């Protein structure tokens, strides 16, 4: 919900300025104003979620640094770690994917060659940059980010996390991509085991991003063919929510929801665990409010089992065959949602 809330508040603020004939502010400045308001109101968890979703490449330096400094100054260690571990995780995901691509396209590349690449004038937003320059820049970008994270940890005196980040720093610096875990979990993934895996990892996770990390570690211990079963069950369960009524719920909760966002909403619902999933499926209005404690979007879960499979086998996962799910239910008009779904709209303050 963080993304929708942030965008809504930014829109309200912009409209207020327009009505009062105040000078125009570009959207970046408006974002900074809403960010600072959320910091003042101590809406740390929501702001972290917004940052990690909105800048999933980790390229959020200018926006997140004042927030990061605030967390350090106020000794908010746990929130500081959640922010930075999320940022670095996003950067690493893109980095290792590019690492695999670079090895495929330029099999003779070495660490020493990457170190010699000239990145002066590099433009991270240009599609014309070479893959060597992109990779060399990203390597240094992640190294700088980890070092920045460590500096804050030193102020907050978290020696255990500092040791972990120093270890990660060496891995990135030396391009030592972690090897896949051996297959140690011999269970066959059926629907019961599927929900056990989801529920157990949700229970130990602080948020949806930490959940993805924990789930990935769990899936890495399974045989590749079981990963295909996991993926098939994920798709099957998400398809059970492919109705106009569940799309309305997603739209109301997020103050807007397009086609892609509805796909991400449905896999997020699965990620919340079996009990919450069933409550969402039944549109149980007595339970929904407590379930929606984070932005209901989890696109990355769509690809997680496939990525783990590829890492373990060095091959693409064969296509998963699941019967196509057609959108069912009664179509609604967004202008009439308060009349069509009055209780849901009231529950989530949708106007």
String of DSSP letters for 264-323: HHHHHHHHT-HHHHHHHHTT-TTTHHHH--S-S--TTHHHHHHHHHHHHHSSPPPPP--P
SS3 243: strand
Q: What tokens were used for 344?
A: 């849901």
Could you tell me if residue 52 is inside a domain?
no
Together in a domain, 37 and 62: no
Together in a domain, 343 and 202: yes
Together in a domain, 25 and 77: no
CB neighbour burial string for 113-134, b if at least 16 within 10 angstroms, e if fewer = ebeebebeebeeeeeebeebbb
Could you tell me if residue 249 is inside a domain?
yes
Scanning the structure block, which residue is given the tokens 């800048």?
A: 55
Domain boundary among 141, 173, 205: 173
Could you tell me if residue 178 is inside a domain?
no
Together in a domain, 335 and 208: yes
Together in a domain, 339 and 204: yes
Together in a domain, 246 and 341: yes
Could you tell me if residue 82 is inside a domain?
yes
CA dist 146 to 1, 53, 61, 63, 305, Å? 28, 19, 13, 17, 27
List the alpha helices (DSSP H) in the chain.
2-19, 27-40, 44-54, 61-73, 77-105, 111-115, 131-156, 159-173, 191-203, 208-219, 224-239, 244-254, 259-271, 274-281, 288-291, 301-313, 337-340, 342-347
Q: What tokens were used for 131?
A: 């893959």
Is residue 219 a contact partner of residue 230, using CB atoms and an 8 Å limit?
yes
List all residues 6 or more positions away from 227 whose beta carbon is below 8 Å from its beta carbon. Answer: 219, 305, 306, 308, 309, 312, 317
Q: How confident is the model at residue 167, as a pLDDT?
A: 95
User: What phi, psi does 243 have (nearest 5°)?
Assistant: -130, 160
229 half-sphere exposure, CB direction, 13 A CA radius: 16
Together in a domain, 102 and 164: yes
Could you tell me if residue 185 is inside a domain?
no
Tens of pLDDT, residue by residue, the chain (351 residues): 677 788 889 999 999 999 999 999 999 999 999 999 999 999 998 899 889 888 888 889 999 999 999 999 999 998 999 899 989 988 998 899 899 889 888 889 899 999 999 999 999 888 899 999 999 999 999 999 999 999 999 999 999 999 999 999 999 999 998 888 899 999 999 999 999 999 999 999 988 888 999 999 999 999 999 999 999 999 999 999 999 999 999 999 998 999 999 999 999 999 999 999 999 999 999 999 999 988 899 989 999 999 899 888 878 788 888 887 899 999 999 999 999 999 999 999 988
Q: Could you give the CA distance from residue 114 to residue 37 in angstroms, rounded to a whole number?
A: 42
Q: What tokens were used for 254?
A: 């997020």
Say what angle helices 131-156 and 159-173 make with each other, to 10 degrees.
170
User: What phi, psi does 58 have (nearest 5°)?
Assistant: 85, 0
Q: Could you give the CA distance from residue 84 to residue 171 in angstroms, rounded to a whole number?
A: 17
- H or E stretch at 41: none
Together in a domain, 78 and 127: yes
Together in a domain, 36 and 67: no
* Cut 0.75: pTM above it: no
Q: Could you give the CA distance from residue 112 to residue 109 in angstroms, rounded to a whole number?
A: 8
Could you tell me if residue 183 is inside a domain?
no
Q: What tokens were used for 291?
A: 């379930």
Q: Could you give the CA distance from residue 4 to residue 261 in angstroms, rounded to a whole number?
A: 11
Q: What tokens were used for 27?
A: 């959207």
Together in a domain, 200 and 312: yes
Together in a domain, 96 and 199: no
Structural domain boundaries enclosing 136: 58-173
Say what angle helices 44-54 and 27-40 make with each other, to 10 degrees.
150
Together in a domain, 196 and 161: no
Structural domains of the chain, count: 3
Q: How confident is the model at residue 222, as a pLDDT?
A: 97
Could you tell me if residue 211 is inside a domain?
yes
Q: 53: closest CA among 33, 92, 83?
A: 83
Q: 2: closest CA among 90, 91, 95, 83?
A: 83
Q: What tokens were used for 156?
A: 């907050």
Q: How confident is the model at residue 57, as a pLDDT?
A: 83
Q: How confident is the model at residue 2, as a pLDDT?
A: 75
Could you tell me if residue 186 is inside a domain?
no
């Amino acid at each position: 919900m963080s993304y929708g809330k942030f965008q809504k508040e930014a829109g309200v603020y912009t409209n207020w300025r327009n009505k009062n004939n105040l000078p125009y502010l570009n959207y970046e400045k408006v974002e900074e104003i809403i960010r600072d308001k959320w910091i003042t109101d101590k809406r740390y968890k929501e702001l972290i979620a917004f940052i990690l979703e909105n800048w999933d490449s980790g390229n959020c330096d200018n926006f997140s640094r004042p927030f990061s400094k605030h967390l350090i100054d106020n000794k908010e260690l746990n929130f500081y770690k959640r922010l930075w571990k999320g940022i670095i995780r996003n950067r690493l995901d893109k980095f290792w994917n590019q690492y695999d691509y670079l090895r495929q396209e330029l099999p003779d590349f070495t660490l020493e060659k990457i170190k010699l690449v000239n990145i002066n004038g590099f433009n991270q937003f240009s599609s014309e940059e070479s893959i060597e320059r992109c990779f060399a820049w990203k390597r240094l970008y992640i190294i700088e980010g980890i070092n920045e994270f460590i500096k804050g940890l030193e102020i907050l005196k978290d020696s255990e996390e500092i040791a972990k980040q120093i270890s990660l720093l060496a891995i990135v610096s030396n391009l030592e991509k972690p090897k896949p875990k051996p297959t140690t979990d011999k269970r066959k993934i059926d629907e019961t085991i599927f929900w056990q895996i989801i529920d157990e990892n949700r229970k130990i996770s602080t948020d949806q991003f930490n959940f993805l990390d924990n789930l990935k570690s769990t899936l890495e211990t399974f045989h590749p063919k079981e990963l295909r079963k996991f993926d098939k069950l994920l798709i099957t369960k998400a398809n059970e929510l492919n109705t106009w009524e569940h799309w309305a719920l997603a739209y109301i909760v997020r103050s807007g929801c397009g086609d892609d966002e509805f796909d991400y909403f449905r896999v997020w619902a699965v990620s919340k665990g079996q009990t919450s999933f069933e409550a969402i499926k039944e549109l149980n209005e007595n339970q929904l409010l407590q379930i929606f404690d984070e932005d209901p979007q989890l696109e990355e879960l769509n690809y997680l089992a496939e990525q783990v499979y590829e890492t373990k086998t060095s091959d693409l996962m064969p296509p998963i065959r699941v019967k196509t799910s057609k959108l069912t239910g009664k179509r609604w008009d967004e202008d009439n949602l308060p009349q069509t779904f009055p209780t849901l709209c009231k529950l989530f303050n949708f106007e």
